[in-house]
Structure 1
Amino acid sequence: MPLRRNRPFAFFWTAQLLSNAGTQISELAIPLIAVLALSAGPAEMGVLTALESLPSLVLALFLGVYVDRLRRGRLLFWANIGQGVLIATVPIAAAFGWLTMGQLYVVTFAVGSLALAYGLAQTAYVPVLVTDQRRLTAANSSMALTDSITAVAGPGLGGVLVQLLTAPIAIAVDAASFFVAALLQALGRGPDPRPIQQQSRFGTSLREGFTAFRAQPGIVAITAGKGCADFFHWGALALFVLYAVRELGLSPAAIGAIAVLGSLGPLLAGVLTTPVSRRFGTAGPAVVAAALFGGGLLTPFAAGPDLVLIAIIGLGQFLLGLGIVYLIIIRATLLQRTVDPALLGRVGAVIRLVEWGTGPVGGLFGGFLGATLGLRPALIVLGIGTLAAVPWLVVAAARGHLND
C-alpha cells in the first residue's frame, strides 16, 4: 500500500507534524524566556540544556524495557497528553509571576522523559503501521520530513510569537499542539498489537537489548560516532542563544530566522536520503554526513550586519542538520530491518543512552567552557569536537558495515 493511502500512518504522520511544530517553538522560547525574563547566565543555561538530555542517561534503559512490554500506540497517546500538561504549566506560572528557573528545570526534565519514551515507542511503532519492509526507508524519510518541515516553520513562528506576544504565549501554543496530536492519533485508529509476553527478568531483558545492539556493527558505528559528536553539540546548544543575544545582539526573530535556514538541512535530508541511498549506497554518503557536523564552526566565526550573521550561521546549521538527519534515517532503516521487533524498544534505549546520555555532561561542559574561556572561544572548541564522529564512520564504511 502506498504511504499516502495508509490511513493510520497518515494520521500518525500529521499528529507528529503538529506536535513537532509546537516543540520547535518551545525549544526556542524556553531558552529565550530563561535569558530575557530570568537573566540566566552560562552556568544556568548549561544546567537547563543538561536536564533536557538527562533522561536518556538515567531512564533510557528502564524505559526501553517497558516500551517492549506495553502497547506502543497507547504509550504514544499518553506521552503526548503528559507533555502538553507539563508545558502548559510554564505560561500559567508566568502569567501569575511565579515562574522560576527551578520550574523550568523540572519541566524540562519531565518533558524530556516523556519525549524519550515517545521516541523509543515511535521507532518501534512505524513497522507496525508500515508492514512492507520495502517502504520502511520511505516511511522513515517521511518521519524525518515531519521533523524537518516543523523545524522550518516552528522556529520562525516561535521567534515571531516571542517578539510579538512574549515567550509564554509561544510556549502555550506548544502545549496545545500536543493535545491536538493526541486527538489525531486516536482518530487514526492505527493497529496497536499487544506485545509478546516476556517472562525474562528486568536484567535479562536489558542484556538482550545490549546483545542485539552489539550484533549490528553499522548501527554501533553510527551511534558511537554520533554520541561523541553530540557531547560537544549539546555544549554548543547550551551557549548558542546566550551568544546570539549577548555577543551578536540578535533579536528573537533573527534567531528564529537562523533556525529556519538551518532546518532546511534536515528537510533536504528527508527528501534526498532514499534516492541518494539507491544511487550511491549508504557508506560513502554516511562519511560525508559525519563531516558536515563541522558546520557548527561557522557560528563563532560569523561577523557583519545582522543579515550576514543570519546567512552565515544559518548555513552552518543547515550543514549540521543535513548530516545529522541523514545518519538518523539510515540508522532507523538498518534498525528496523535487522533487529527483532520485540527488541526494538530496548535497542533504541541503548542508542539513546549512548547518544543523548552524553548531553548532561556536554551541556554542563559547554556552560563551564563559556564561563571560563568566554562564549566565542568555547564555541570554537565545541565546534571542532563535533568532528569526532568522522573516524567512526570512516572505519565502519571501510569494513562494509554501513551497507544497507
Structure 2
Amino acid sequence: MSTPASTAAPAGRNLLRDRDFLLFAGGQGASALGDALSKTALPLLVLALTGSGLHMGLIAMLTALPMMLFGVPAGAWADRFDRRRMMLWSDVGRAVLVAAVPVAALLDLPMLPVLYAIAVPVGVLYAVFEAACLSCVPSLVGRDRIGEANSLLSIGNALGYIAGPALAGVLVTGIGGAGTLGVDAVTFAVSAVSLMLIRRPLQTARDHPPAPMRRQVLEGFRFVAGHRLLRAALLYWAAITFFTAPIIICATYFIREDLGWSPGVLGSIIAVYAVGAIAGAVLASRIKEASVAVMCAGTVLGSVGLLVLSGTASLPLALGVVLLAGGGESLSAILYSTLRARLTPDELLGRVTTSAQVAAFSLKPLSVLVAGIALEATSGALTLTVIAISCITISVAFGVYSRRLPTAAPELILPPTLTPQEVVR
C-alpha cells in the first residue's frame, strides 16, 4: 500500500517545539516508564512466586524468542504496511495481555501460569512494534536530524527509567508485583493514544508497488551483507547484546539474593543508572558523526562500571558505578542506532532494522536461559563479572578490527522498480 509523502520536521525547527515529534516522544516515554515498572516488578514477582533464578530466565527466554522468529517478517511488514497502525495495535494487544496478570491476582488465580502464557504473545507484539517504531524516526524528523532525535528519545526513555524503578519499588511494596504490572498495561494505552494523535506520516511515499514478501526479505539481507561497515557494526552489536541481555535479571538476583538489599534499593540503583543514561544521551547529541571507536569506548566504560558493581557491597560505590555504566551504555546504543539509520534508505529501513534486531536478539533466549542456570549454579556476582569481562574483550577486539574498514560508506543501491507482472497483490 502507498502512504502519503513524508513531511518531516523542517530543518532548523527545534524538535522540542514540534508537535508530532513530542507526541511520538511522549508516547515512547510513557512506554519506557511502563517497561521500567515491568522490568523491576516482573523479576521480583517471579522471584517471590518461585524463589528461582531459573524461572526468571525461562520467562525472559519465552518473551525474547518471538523476536528471532518474527523479527525479519515484521521488518518487511514495516516497509510494506502502515507503521502507525502496526504500533497502535501492538500497544493495544500488549495492554490487554499484561492486564491479565493483575486480573488473575484479583480473582485469586495462580499467577505463574499466566506469566508463562502471556510471555510469547507479548514478545510477538514487541517484535512487531519495534520493527515499525525504529523505522519511523527518519521520516518523522528528517535524515539530517536522526542523531538529535535519537538522543532526545533516549533522554525521554531514561526519564521513564528514573521514575519507573523508584515507583516500582513503592508499588511492589504497596500493591504487589501484579498490581504494578497493571500500571504497565496503562502505559501501553497512553502510547496508543499518542500514536493516534500524530498527523505526520511515519514513512515516505513509494513510487512503485511493494515487492513480494520473500523478495523484500532477501533485499534487506543482501543490503546488509553487501555493506561492510553496517554488517560489521551489526555483528558487533549482536555479540554485545548476547552478553548484556540478561543484565536486569542478573542484577536483580545479585542485589536481592547476594546482597540482600530491598526492592526499594533495587529501584534506586536502576533509577541512578537511568540518570547516567541521560548524561550519555546528552553527550551523544553533541557528536556530529557516529564513530565506531566512540561506540566501543562507551561499551567499555559501561562494562567497567558493571565489573566494579559485581565486586562491591557498598551502596554508595554501587550507585556511583551504575551512573558510569548508564552513561557509557547509553552513548554506545545511540551511536549504533544513529549509524544504522544513516546508512540505510527509508524503504529498506524496516527490514534492515529488524535484521539488526534479529541478529542482536536471536541468541537472547539462549543467553537468558544460560544466565538463569548460572545464577542457580554460582552467584549473581560471578555472572555479572563474566558479562562485563566479555563485553570489554569484544569491544577492544572490534575497535582494533574496525580500523581496517573503510571510513566512507559505499554507494547505497536501492531495489529496482518492479514491473506490474512482478507485483503480488
Q: What is the TM-score with the length of structure 1 in the denominator?
A: 0.90
SS at match of 2:26: helix
Amino acid aligned to 1:345: G
Amino acid aligned to 1:27: K
CA-CA distance at 1:198 after TM superposition: 4.8
- Does residue 284 in structure 1 map to residue 296 in structure 2? no
Pair 394,103 (structure 1): closer, same or farther in 2 beyond 3 Å? farther
Cα deviation code 1:14-55 (max 9, x no counterpart): 11111211121111111111112x124121111122223212
- Higher alpha-carbon deviation: 227-236 or 264-273: 227-236
Residue correspondence of structure 1 range 26-37 to structure 2 within 5 A: 26-36=38-48
Partner of 1:149: 159
Amino acid aligned to 2:361: W
Match of 1:115 among 115, 126, 130: 126
Pair 401,373 (structure 1): closer, same or farther in 2 beyond 3 Å? farther
Partner of 1:185: 195
Pair 85,393 (structure 1): closer, same or farther in 2 beyond 3 Å? farther
- Give structure 1 stretches of 5+ with no counterpart: none
Write the distance in 1 (CA, Å) between the matches of 2:160 and 2:379.
32
CA-CA distance at 1:193 after TM superposition: 5.5
- Does residue 345 in structure 1 map to residue 350 in structure 2? yes
- Does residue 394 in structure 1 map to residue 400 in structure 2? yes
Partner of 2:414: none
Tell me if structure 1 keeps the 8 A contact 2:80–2:210. no
- Higher alpha-carbon deviation: 118-127 or 314-323: 314-323
**For the pair shown, which has the larger CA radius of gyration, 1 or 2?**
2
SS at match of 1:157: helix
- Higher alpha-carbon deviation: 318-327 or 188-197: 188-197
Partner of 2:7: none
Write the distance in 1 (CA, Å) between the matches of 2:100 and 2:338.
37
Tell me if structure 2 keeps the 8 A contact 1:70–1:195. no
Write the distance in 2 (CA, Å) between the matches of 1:4 and 1:300.
38
Partner of 2:114: 103
Residue correspondence of structure 1 range 66-77 to structure 2 within 5 A: 66-77=77-88
- Does residue 315 in structure 1 map to residue 320 in structure 2? yes
Tell me if structure 2 keeps the 8 A contact 1:290–1:393. no
CA-CA distance at 1:137 after TM superposition: 1.2
Write the distance in 1 (CA, Å) between the matches of 2:234 and 2:328.
13
Tell me if structure 1 keeps the 8 A contact 2:301–2:324. yes
Write the distance in 2 (CA, Å) between the matches of 1:244 and 1:90.
25
Write the distance in 2 (CA, Å) between the matches of 1:109 and 1:386.
28
CA-CA distance at 1:249 after TM superposition: 0.9
Write the distance in 1 (CA, Å) between the matches of 2:222 and 2:245.
28
Residue correspondence of structure 1 range 1-400 to structure 2 within 5 A: 1=10, 2=13, 3-36=15-48, 38-131=49-142, 133-192=143-202, 196=206, 198-277=209-288, 282-294=291-303, 295-303=305-313, 308-309=314-315, 311-387=316-392, 388-397=394-403, 399-400=405-406
Write the distance in 1 (CA, Å) between the matches of 2:45 and 2:59.
12
- Higher alpha-carbon deviation: 146-155 or 213-222: 213-222
Cα deviation code 1:80-124 (max 9, x no counterpart): 111111111111111222133232123233222222222221121
SS at match of 2:50: coil
Amino acid aligned to 1:123: L
- Higher alpha-carbon deviation: 388-397 or 44-53: 388-397
Tell me if structure 1 keeps the 8 A contact 2:297–2:332. no
Write the distance in 1 (CA, Å) between the matches of 2:408 and 2:319.
30
Pair 46,60 (structure 1): closer, same or farther in 2 beyond 3 Å? same
SS at match of 1:361: helix
Cα deviation code 1:189-247 (max 9, x no counterpart): 23255864655333322221112223333333332222212222224433322222122
CA-CA distance at 1:401 after TM superposition: 4.0
Determine what percentage of the aligned residue pairs are the same residue: 26
Amino acid aligned to 2:53: P
Tell me if structure 2 keeps the 8 A contact 1:290–1:390. no
Write the distance in 2 (CA, Å) between the matches of 1:9 and 1:376.
41
Write the distance in 2 (CA, Å) between the matches of 1:52 and 1:241.
18
- Between Structure 1 and Structure 2, how many residues are aligned? 395
- Higher alpha-carbon deviation: 375-384 or 180-189: 375-384
SS at match of 1:257: helix
Pair 296,87 (structure 1): closer, same or farther in 2 beyond 3 Å? same
Write the distance in 2 (CA, Å) between the matches of 1:143 and 1:5.
14
Pair 383,14 (structure 1): closer, same or farther in 2 beyond 3 Å? same
- Give structure 2 stretches of 5+ with no counterpart: 1-9, 410-425
Pair 370,5 (structure 1): closer, same or farther in 2 beyond 3 Å? closer
Higher helix share: 1
Amino acid aligned to 2:39: E
Write the distance in 1 (CA, Å) between the matches of 2:210 and 2:146.
30
Write the distance in 1 (CA, Å) between the matches of 2:47 and 2:405.
47
Cα deviation code 1:46-92 (max 9, x no counterpart): 11222232122121112111111110111111111111111111111
Write the distance in 2 (CA, Å) between the matches of 1:127 and 1:199.
20
SS at match of 1:221: helix
Q: What is the TM-score with the length of structure 2 in the denominator?
A: 0.86
CA-CA distance at 1:188 after TM superposition: 2.7
Tell me if structure 1 keeps the 8 A contact 2:204–2:346. no
